[in-house]
Copies of this chain bind each other. A is one copy, B any other.
Amino acid sequence: MQNTMPLVAPARGFNDEEFQLRTHRAQANMAEQNLAGLLLMTEPEVRYFTGFQTLFWQSPTRPWFVFVPAQGKPVAVIPAIGAQLMSQTWISDVRTWSAPTPSDDGISLLIDLLLPLSTSGARLGILKGHETSLRMPLGDWEKLVASLPGLQITDATRLVHGLRMVKSPAEIEKLSYICRVGSETFAQVPQFIAVGMPLEEVFRKFRCAAISQGADDAPYVVGSADQGGYSDVISPPSRRPLREGDVLMMDTGCTWDGYYCDFDRNWAIQRADDQAKRAYDVLWRATQAGIDAARPGNTSRDLFLAMSSVLSEMNSSGGDIGRLGHGLGMQLTEQPSHAAFDETVLEENMVLTIEPSLSYGDGLMMVHEENIVVGSNKPCLLTARAATELPLIG
């Protein structure tokens, strides 16, 4: 593997003004919807409003809460193990308990905090809509709600995800950097793969190359390789060795400072059949149609239709993936979805994946993916565009 120098990374973290701005924007929208507060408990939302960043979310043991009031700074209600790290953020009201405590994992602290809202019959926003989950025990949630009978629980998914969809310049800088790291890493693949190498080994080398290149981690590396194409895009790698005539696809979510790239590349090992070449060409042009359509005022549905129109040259099903791309940021996949059901209007500084997929032959499929930022005029590609023709390697 080529020993290239890591790319130069931007500054880590954000300044306090960024968190103030995020909070003020949320509060302006909350005022419109007559919300007295937001209760948030998922990693990207806690990080969005506080800057609290840790891998400790990988442990399912402890819940973490942030309350965004109608005015003023957010309040953190978190396990004591996080107090030191949270004290380094812009948050000043940090309430802790010694977690885990199954009998009361933050619930009485939340009741204290939310009781005034309950007493006044106020509206509390939580995330209970599409693409959300409840990151606390459902039993504890039920206890909390039962203790605060005056509270009007309201879905604030669109409010919060709507804010998160449009990225700040500092967020775009981080996303741009990790996309460049991903592109450099994909560029190295032809140098480290060889016929006979098990796919598992290809993935292992890819991960190390991405980290050496400057990624903090490469948590998402999936893909497939098989004769003339692949039939599944979410499998872990097998020990099957690469063979002449395989189409190899690798899809990666690498991270830097808590932001993801998410794109893939396809290669043919030594030779490609006409069907695979044709699928590749259709997908390349569908991707281009998606990129070209990613302008302010167009919708996610418009992107879907622009890509589908090209895909229909070969197949109208669009595979079983259910959409042709999505938002990108602190999560590998964020809203919106490029799908017929999603009428989200695109805005400048949304970061998106453009991800058409195609079924062909006998149960085969192919996926292309690029990452872009929506500009005021034309979109800006964050990834080094895939080759126009299916590259032969190995």
Contact = CB atoms under 8 A, between A and B. Distances in A.
Contact of A58 (B53, B220, B320): B220
Interface stretch (A68-76, A203-211, A268-276, A382-390): A203-211
A13 to B, nearest CB: 10
Q: Is the interface of A mostly helix, strand, loop or mixed?
A: loop
A82 interface: yes
Interface string A120-149: 000000111111111111110110000000
Interface in A200-248: 204, 207-208, 211-212, 216-222, 231-236, 239
Contacts of A12: 239
Nearest to A321: B81
Contact of A134 (B138, B207, B236): B138
Nearest to A103: B341
Nearest to A133: B135
A55 B211 contact: no
Interface residues of A, number: 74
B131 A84 contact: no
Interface in A54-96: 54-56, 58-62, 79-85, 96
Contacts of A55: 219-222, 234, 236
Interface in A331-348: 331-333, 337, 339, 341
Contacts of A231: 84
A327 to B, nearest CB: 10
A201 B174 CA distance: 18
A51 to B, nearest CB: 12
A105 interface: yes
